[in-house]
Structure 1
C-alpha cells in the first residue's frame, strides 16, 4: 500500500510531539518511555484491538531489565512464568526430555537469568496499562494511516477518518509489512530462512498435561514437526506445526484439529477451541536504513526474524528503548538533533547480528545460549561511547557495554538507574566531580565492585555505559552531547 500525499489535507486536527504508527510491543514500549520523559505521543493502530495472539512469547533477560526500568517487571512475572522442559513423543509414547535452554543461575550483576514466557497479547496488555498509568500518550485503535509527508519542521499524517496529525517526529512500528516503510521507499534486504510454511495457533486442549512443552518430531511419511507449548498464566497452548513447501496450512478449527490428530496421540475432538491462528514463511530481512528524515523505523518494520531463538520481539523492544530516550533528550532536554543520528548507527548493526543468530538457530547451526539472552549486546563502536581509560584488561567493562546491576546503598544499581535520567556512578573512587544538573544526572558512589572495577561511569538512560574515566576529565563535554547546556 502506498501512502497518499497530504498536501491538500484539511486543517491539522491533532498535534503531538511523536506520532507512533502501530500499537505492538515496539510502539507501546516507545510510548511508555516517551510518556515518562514528558514527551507527548499519539499511537495509531489500524486494528480495532490489541494483537490477540501469543506469537512472540519469550521475554529475554535483557528485555526483562528494560521492563524493570519501565516499572512493569512485577506485572510481567506475575502474568508469565518459566519455560517448561520439553518432552519428545513418538508413536504415543514419551521418549525423553529435551531442554531448550542452558541452565544459568542469577547473579548480582545479572538478576534475570532465563527467558520469561509471556504471550505477546499479555505483554501488550501490560504495556498498554502502564501507558495509561503514565499518561501523556494515548492509543487510537481503528486509526489507519493513509497519508504521510514531512518537511524541515515536522511530519504531517492523514488518518482514514480524514483527520490529520502534525508531529515533530514519526516512528513506524507497523510490522514487517510496514506501509510507512514502503511509502518512504526504504528497501528491505532478506532471504527465506526455510521454504516450509509454519502454522502457529493458540489452542485449548484440556486433556493434555501442562507440565511439558510437548514435541512431536517429523514423521517418516514427510509430515513436519509439531509442538504444543503450555502458555504460562493461561489455559492455552501455543501450537506450531511445519508443513511442506508449497502448501497452505488450514488455520480453521477443523484444519487445526486435523493436523493435531494426524501428528500426535491426541484426537481431533480434544482440541476444543482455536483462539487465534496464523501461518507464515520463516524469513530474515533487514531494512536498508532505519531513518528517513524525521521518520524512524523500529521493530518488525526495520527487521524481520525467524521465531527461532526468540529474538524478534526482544530486538524490537530494544529499538524502542534506544530511540525513546534520544527523542526525549532532543524534544525536552535541549540535546542537539544530531543525537538522533546515533539511533540507526547503534541499532542497525545489532539487529543484523540478531538476524544472523535467529537464522543460525532456525537451521540448527547454533544452540540457544548466552547470545540469545541479549545481555552481551552493546555499542562500543558508537560515537556515544567514549572510553578515556587506557591499559584495561580484556574482560574490563568499557564504554558502550551494558551497565551491570549490583548493590547500591539499601537498594541496587537498577533502582538507581530507573527513570529518565542519566546516572554517574563513582565506583571505588573519591574523584572530584564538576557541578552537574541534578535533575539530568544522578550521582551515586559505591565501593569497588568487580563487575565495574574502579572509576567513573556515566550510565545512559537506557542502561549502557556512555562515558568512562579514571577522573572527570571530559565528562562535562560528553554530557553536552546528550543535554545541551548541562
Structure 2
C-alpha cells in the first residue's frame, strides 16, 4: 500500500514528495493535468525556501537556472522617473547566507524538483484526477484512505495530502470550509510573453504606473526574449474587466509604454488574477491533510504564495516520516496544523498589508513594487515559539529560543578541517543534537547510545580553544565563533558547563537546555523518535542530500 498519496504536482507537492521519498516512504504523486504546465507563474523562492531547497540538494541547480532579483525601473507617462533596488543594502550574513530571493520560472523549478524526485525512483503521474476519498475505520495503526479517480483503477494510501491548489478537489471532498473574500475590484491580467529582441533592457524589471492603468514586464531567466507580463485589465463601456487576449496585451503595451504593440510577438498562458484572501478552517481531517494554496490563498504582494506552500511541505514531511516509521505517535501530525495555521493566518495579513502599501506607493510617480518587500517577506523570521513542540527550558541561555528557525553559520569539519556551513551539517532527514562545551559530551553520548542511526545524529561543536583530539567524525569546528554566537552559547562554553540544542529535521529549534539536563533532552527525543534502538529504522531512509 502507498504510504502517502500527494495530490498536486506543483512546488508544494514536489517538495513534500522529495522529502518523503528520501526518508524511504512509499510515495505517489498525481496531478490532474495531462502534462506539466509550461507556465512561469510564481517568480521564485524567497530566502527561507532557498534554505529548504538547499536541504533537498537542489539549491545550486536553482541558482544556476535563475537570476538574482533585478532593480526596478519605474515610468510615468511613458518616461522613466525613478529606479529602485530593494536589495542594494542587503548582504549575506553568517546566520543567513541567502539574503534575497531568486528569480526562476515556476516550470523550471518544478522541472528541477521532478528530476530530483525521479532520482528516488518516483515520478509524477499526470492525468489523474481525484474524485473520491473514503477513510477507513481501522484507527491510526490500521487505517487507510481509499481513493477514487475520474479514470482508471482506484487506489489506497495510509495518508493523503492535498497540494492541489486554490480550487482543491481534496479540500472540497473533505467538506472543509475556505472562508474569506474575493476583491472583484482588484484585478490584474497576466501571461508569459515574448518581446522583439532588444525591445527592453533585460537587466531591469520595468514598471509603468499611470493614473489610468499599469504594465509590468520582468524578464524570465533562461530565456532570450521571454517576459512576465502583468497589467491592469482593459475594461468595457460599463467598466467591467475584459478577458486577457494577445491583442489586448498589445494595446496595453502601446498605451502605457513607448513600445509599439507589434513588439509583443507572443502571448500565452493568459489569466485574470483577482485578489483572494481565504484560508481553510482545518488543515487535517483524519488521514487527509492540506498544504499550500489548497489550505490558504492571499494577495500576490510579497511573493509569499508558493513560498508558504514550500514551507508547509517542509514542516509536514518530517512529521509524516516519523509517524510512518513508527517512531512517533500519529498525534505528532496535529502539530502541523498547530504550527502552520497561525503562520498562514499571519501571511494573509502580511500580504494584504503589503498590497495596501504597494497600491499607495504607485499613486506617486516613482513608486513601485519595492513597497511589497520587507524583511518579513524573506520567511527567515517565521518560527513556532507557541508550539507544543517548542520545549522552553527555564535555564536556557539567552539567544535562539525553542521554536525559532535554527540559524546557519560558517564552520568547518573538526576532523578534516574542510569548510562547511551549519545547515549542511543539519541537512537530511534527521533530528540533530548539537553539543556546546565540554559539559555536553555526556548528553551527546546518551543520545547516540539510545538512538544510534534511528533518525537522530549527534554533533559536538568545538570552540577555537578546545582540544579536538578524538573528535568524532562529523563534529563541528567553530573557530570564528559564529555558531556559538548564533545560538547564544558563548558563556556556557567558557565555563565548561555546556549547552545542548536539539534541532528538528526542518531546521527549527526544539529544545535548548543546559548540558547536565539529560532528562529534558531524552524526553524531547522520545516524543519524536520513540524508545530509540528498539524502534526499527525505515530501510529506505536516504541520508545523503548531495
Tell me the TM-score normalised to structure 2 length.
Answer: 0.82
- The answer as to whether partners of 1:101 and 1:369 remain within 8 angstroms in 2 is no
Give, in whole Å, the separation in 1 of the partners of 2:401 and 2:128. 44
Please say if 1:211 is aligned against 2:197: no
Q: If each structure's helix is expressed as a fraction of its own residues, which one has the higher value?
A: 2
Give, in whole Å, the separation in 2 of the partners of 1:23 and 1:51. 10
Deviations 1:112-146 (A, max 9, x none): 000111111111111111100122x3311011112
Deviations 1:404-451 (A, max 9, x none): 111142322111111111111112343211123232211111136101
Alignment counterpart, residue 199 of structure 1, candidates 178, 189, 193: 189
Q: CA deviation at 1:391?
A: 6.8
Give, in whole Å, the separation in 1 of the partners of 2:7 and 2:163. 5
Higher mean displacement: 316-325 or 442-451? 442-451
Counterpart of 1:4? Answer: none
Q: How large is the Cα RMSD of the aligned pairs?
A: 1.7
Q: CA deviation at 1:49?
A: 1.6
What secondary structure does 2:312 align onto?
A: helix
Higher mean displacement: 401-410 or 167-176? 401-410
Q: CA deviation at 1:483?
A: 1.1
Give, in whole Å, the separation in 1 of the partners of 2:450 and 2:242. 60
Give, in whole Å, the separation in 2 of the partners of 1:364 and 1:345. 30
Counterpart of 1:226? Answer: 215
- The answer as to whether partners of 2:166 and 2:295 remain within 8 angstroms in 1 is yes
Give, in whole Å, the separation in 1 of the partners of 2:37 and 2:17. 17
Give, in whole Å, the separation in 1 of the partners of 2:439 and 2:202. 55
Counterpart of 2:459? Answer: 444
Q: 1:429 to 1:372 in 2, by over 3 A?
A: farther
Q: Who wins on radius of gyration, i.e. which is larger?
A: 2
Greater than 6 Å deviation, 4+ residue runs: none
Q: CA deviation at 1:333?
A: 4.5
- The answer as to whether partners of 1:193 and 1:306 remain within 8 angstroms in 2 is no
Q: CA deviation at 1:248?
A: 3.3
Alignment coverage as a number of residue pairs: 466
Alignment counterpart, residue 383 of structure 1, candidates 382, 388, 399: 388
Higher mean displacement: 151-160 or 70-79? 151-160
Deviations 1:200-235 (A, max 9, x none): 11111122220211110123xx3x221101122223
Please say if 1:170 is aligned against 2:160: yes
Give, in whole Å, the separation in 1 of the partners of 2:90 and 2:394. 32
Matches within 5 A, 1:234-313: 234-235=223-224, 236-243=226-233, 247-313=240-306
Counterpart of 1:400? Answer: 403
- The answer as to whether partners of 2:327 and 2:529 remain within 8 angstroms in 1 is yes
Counterpart of 1:8? Answer: none
Structure 1 stretches of 5 or more lacking a match? Answer: 1-14
- The answer as to whether partners of 2:397 and 2:488 remain within 8 angstroms in 1 is no
Structure 2 stretches of 5 or more lacking a match? Answer: 138-142, 359-370, 464-480, 490-498, 533-546
What secondary structure does 1:216 align onto?
A: strand
Tell me the TM-score normalised to structure 1 length.
Answer: 0.92
What secondary structure does 1:116 align onto?
A: coil
Give, in whole Å, the separation in 2 of the partners of 1:414 and 1:402. 11
Alignment counterpart, residue 528 of structure 2, candidates 470, 474, 482: 482
Alignment counterpart, residue 50 of structure 1, candidates 9, 19, 36: 36
- The answer as to whether partners of 2:301 and 2:372 remain within 8 angstroms in 1 is no
Alignment counterpart, residue 513 of structure 2, candidates 469, 477, 481: 469
Please say if 1:71 is aligned against 2:57: yes
- The answer as to whether partners of 1:24 and 1:51 remain within 8 angstroms in 2 is no
Q: CA deviation at 1:458?
A: 0.7
